[in-house]
Amino acid sequence: MQEFILLNNTFHEIGPAFIDADFEAGTSKDSTNDFKIETNLINSIEFYALYLEGTELGGIINVDKSTNITDLHSIQGLTWRGILTRHIVEPPAGADYKTVSGDLNAVIAELIQPLSPLYTAKSTSAGHTATNYKINRYVNILAAIEKLLSDSGYRLKIEAVKEAAGEAIKIILSAVPQTTLAGTYNSDLYIPMEFTKDTSGYNHIIAAGRGELAAREIVNLYADAEGNIGTTQYFTGIEESTYFYDYSNVESLEELEKSAREELEKLLNKKVLKIAGQDEQDERLTALEIGDKVRATFPGGDVVEAAVIQKIYTVANRAIKTQIKIEGGE
State the pLDDT at residue 13: 93
State the pLDDT at residue 137: 85
State the pLDDT at residue 41: 66
Strand-pairing partners, residue 204, are 222, 242
Domains of the chain are 4-84 (no CATH), 88-176 (3.55.50), 180-197+271-307 (no CATH), 202-267 (no CATH)
State the pLDDT at residue 189: 62
Task: Sheet containing 170-177: give its strands across.
Answer: 119-121, 170-177, 154-161
State the pLDDT at residue 309: 92
State the pLDDT at residue 304: 79
Max CA pair span of the chain: 73
State the pLDDT at residue 126: 95
pTM assigned to the model? 0.78
Number of neighbouring beta carbons within 10 Å of residue 98? 19
Cβ contact 34:22 at 8 Å: no
State the pLDDT at residue 281: 56
CA 46 to chain centre: 31
Q: What are phi and psi of 40, to 5 degrees?
A: -110, 5
Q: Is 198 helix (H, G, I), strand (E, B) or coil?
A: strand
Instruction: Going from the first residue of the chain to its last (330 residues), give the mean pLDDT of each consecutive group of 10, the final group possibly shorter.
Output: 87 91 93 88 75 93 72 86 96 91 97 96 95 92 96 95 88 95 65 77 96 93 90 94 94 92 91 65 80 81 83 88 78
